[in-house]
Structure 1
Amino acid sequence: MRFLKSFLFIAVIAILGFSSLNVQAQSFSDNEKTSRSEIERKVFKKILTMPYYGVFDNISFKVDGNTVTLFGKVRNAQNKSDAERSVEDIKGVRNVINNIEILPLSGFDDAIRYRIIQTFSRDGGSLYRYLQGVNPSVRIIVDGGRVSLEGYVATRGDYNLANILANGVSGVFNVDNNLIVEKERVR
């Protein structure tokens, strides 16, 4: 009986030891992937928590090794420099390439921005929900009367409605509808 207890005890210890070796081996082989996804998650969070980042700004990024490249268009130089500065502070990032474009100051473009917001909230039905909150899922970029809709919507109907309403706003020359329908997105 005593032999059986000691045999079971040794067997359990051996199984636990081998299972922990297996877990450690997996973590070493996935280290590169985890590191990249961790950097992507941190960059995303840093951008979203910038104090002046709003519905009229759009910043995207690409992680390549320890280099982060920033893209997009913002309304003020503060957002461009804040994005670069906050991403540089992330552990594992050695180089930041800042390709963010600062939109020119324009009363004409500002008027279009606010007319689009008014149109979406008044006539858009469900569209206004995409513009609310700290991190709106739809971004409205206006550059010289050209509108670019960026982000995500829930349905194809919302996608079409946003396109129709933005095209109908006075002063808009053309609309690039880059919205992604969540239900149709390839995961």
Structure 2
Amino acid sequence: MRYIRNFLILSFVFLSFTAFEAKAQTPSNGLEKKVFKELIKLPYYGVFDHIAFQIDGDTVTLYGKVFNARNKRDAERWVKDVDGVGRVVNRIEILPPSGFDNTIRRQILATFTRNGGSLYRYLQEPNPAMRIIVDNGRVTLEGYVSNRGDYNLANILVSGVSGVFGVENNLIVGREER
């Protein structure tokens, strides 16, 4: 009986965090919603990728950095198929393969899991609220956190990871207001 109760409590906590993540990055207008929906469905789009977009009429400009070259191709192809999109400009950069950067990525995840308290919830799939971009030892944090404490904690923990040369914290505190 105790196991069932603990399972139910953990399920409730997980679902409440997941609901926050989904709300955190939901765009407001019709075409934005359609493009956003396609991007988060990319099968290999994860916490180490960041794709953003800008809409000008029927032209969608994709930008950001991805860990996997397939995400760049798939993002363009999937967004082209969205109703209302006439043209896609793909300015997504592919991060160079690096064992050094992969080590930093693993260390950041481990640090967030061990010492981050509430930070790990921002990394939950399928639509993480926080994205971690590692490029030649330089870390960029993108996305959303719910409070200033999480913003500061993420910055402090990433700065303390061995091999990190610099941290650019682009996290937005609070829900996205588009």
How many residue pairs match? The answer is 151
Gaps of 5+ in 1: 1-35
TM (normalized to structure 1)? 0.78
Is residue 122 of structure 2 the alignment partner of residue 130 of structure 1? yes
TM (normalized to structure 2)? 0.82
Following superposition, the deviation at residue 186 of structure 1 comes to: 5.6
RMSD: 1.4
Residue 71 of structure 2 is matched in structure 1 by 79
Are the counterparts in 1 of residues 46 and 125 from structure 2 also a CA contact under 8 Å? Answer: no
Residue 42 of structure 2 is matched in structure 1 by 50
> What code does the residue aligned with 2:106 have?
Y
Is residue 111 of structure 2 the alignment partner of residue 119 of structure 1? yes
Dislocated runs of 4+, deviation >4 Å: none
- Cα deviation per residue 1:6-45 (whole Å; 9 max; x = unaligned)? xxxxxxxxxxxxxxxxxxxxxxxxxxxxxx9221110000
Is residue 136 of structure 2 the alignment partner of residue 144 of structure 1? yes
Is residue 82 of structure 2 the alignment partner of residue 110 of structure 1? no
> What code does the residue aligned with 1:43 have?
V
How far apart, CA to CA, are the structure 2 residues paired with 1:50 and 1:125? 28
Q: Which has the larger radius of gyration?
A: 1
State the SS of the aligned residue for 2:84. Answer: coil
Could you say which structure has the greater relative contact order, defined with CA pairs below 8 angstroms and 6 or more residues apart?
2
> What code does the residue aligned with 1:170 have?
S
Identity of matched residues, %: 66
Gaps of 5+ in 2: 1-27
